[in-house]
Amino acid sequence: MPPPASTTGPNPFLDPRASRTTLPPIVLSCAHCSRILSDSSHFVCADRRSATVTLAEVVSVGMDEGLQTAAEGQWDEFCNYKVLRCEGCGMEVGRRYMAVMGGLERLQ
């Protein structure tokens, strides 16, 4: 019997040369109400230090009107953003960065 597929060939999660089409789709949903917000086809990047996932598109998400600024000492200090909320339950699900500093352009 051949070994499981996950142990043969390049690991698509670790090898940048591996085709993204080999990855199973991932659905991102609200942690509070489970409403679907996006999927892995809209994935841009992830960052362990900031514990963030950047997406190109989302659904069922509303954006607050007010502009906020991250406090000094936070990983995104002095960046301006608007809060993103799940349209199903109103919980905060992310941020839409409007102006960034310190090499965080990938967040916009």
Supply the CATH number for residue 85's domain.
Answer: 2.170.150
The parts of the chain modelled with pLDDT lower than 50 are 1-7
pTM to 2 decimal places: 0.74
Backbone angles phi, psi at 85, to 5 degrees: -125, 145
Other Cβ atoms less than 10 A from the Cβ of 33: the count is 13
Range of the structural domain that residue 101 is part of: 5-107
E strands, 5-71, are 27-29, 36-39, 43-47, 52-55, 61-63, 68-69
Q: What percent of the chain has pLDDT over 70?
A: 79
Q: Helix, strand or coil for residue 20? A: helix
- Tally the domains of the chain: 1
